[in-house]
Amino acid sequence: MFYEGSEKRLEITTTINLLALENQFWQEMVKQAGAYIISSIESPQLKAFLLSESSLFVWQDRLLLITCGETHLIKASLFFQQKVARKEISSLLFQRHQAYFPERQKSSFQQDSLLLQKKLKGDSHHWNEDYCGDIFLFGNNQQPKATKNILMLHGLSGPFFEQLQLGQVQAGQVALQLQLAKHFNDFQIDHYSFEPKGYSMNAINGEYYFTVHITPEKLTSYLSFESNLATAEIEPFKQKLLSLLQPQRSYLMTFSPSKERLEIGTEVLIPITVNS
């Protein structure tokens, strides 16, 4: 059995109060992508929904929807655009990491971006060397609470990964292994272990968030971690993940807003090794 761990991401900033929308709205939006809400946590500034296929975060003026598997995220984006007036959308970022099996996805990035261009005249960015993926960007997306870091680990290994791969680790045990209490003791945690294997976690503290998703497939194992915390703040946890899960390759994507545009950087942390 194969499961696609590489994510699709949708970030939208608006001029309306998203926190005032009923949870039924978010349930329907997530359903459009082919997922459902498992549980939720919230602070006065932020709601976090744990999904069957990753996560949804909602601030007053911004949302972040992450999905994986064979979900159809573009449908969730189009649903939101139908419900919210064009003039009330300040920015939209639609991102797809390169899938292990793109042919199993319900659409390509090119098809998705054409649909987005019909209402929002944005720009597309492509990476096809070390990190591979695509982004459609309308507007600047320069809010201070926007995502700052995405860490992607591929080809996991080590004793803890072997336990994950066998489906022998519950959510509480994963939290202990990741040392969440040590690295993020002020954060409220919501997490879930899937059957037969897999792990998702949301964490929030005020307007700050981070999320971890682990797909322990034997041939296509993958972990993602992303947050709106500063890069320096996540450094100890990043090193913990690299040490614990010993990936074959790893990338860090950073987002740095400026008045003119959103600067997007990619860094290879562990180079891809080629067998001779």
What are the residues whose beta carbons fall under 8 Å from the beta carbon of 249, sequence distance 6 or more?
Answer: 130, 153, 154, 155, 268, 270, 271, 272, 273
DSSP state at residue 102: G
Would you tell me how many other CB atoms lie within 10 Å of the CB of residue 2? Answer: 12
- Can you tell me the distance from the alpha carbon of 134 to that of 97, in angstroms, rounded to the nearest whole number? 7
Strand 89-97 vs strand 46-51: parallel, antiparallel, or unpaired? unpaired
pTM of the entire predicted model: 0.94
d(CA 193, CA 201): 9
Using the structure block, give the residue that is written with the tokens 């954060």.
187
CA–CA distance from 53 to each of 17, 31, 38, 80, 138 (Å)?
25, 11, 10, 18, 25
Indicate the fold that domain 8-270 takes in CATH: S-adenosylmethionine decarboxylase (3.60.90)
Per-residue tokens: 273: 């090794």
Q: What residue ranges do the domains of the chain occupy?
A: 8-270
How does pLDDT run along the chain (276 residues), one tens digit per residue?
678 878 999 999 999 999 999 999 999 999 999 999 999 999 999 999 999 999 999 999 999 999 998 899 999 999 999 999 999 999 999 999 988 788 889 899 999 999 999 989 999 999 988 899 999 999 877 677 889 999 999 999 999 999 999 888 999 999 999 999 999 999 999 999 998 899 999 999 999 999 999 999 888 899 999 999 999 999 999 999 999 999 999 999 999 877 677 888 999 997 555 443
d(CA 174, CA 51): 18
> What's the chain's average pLDDT?
92
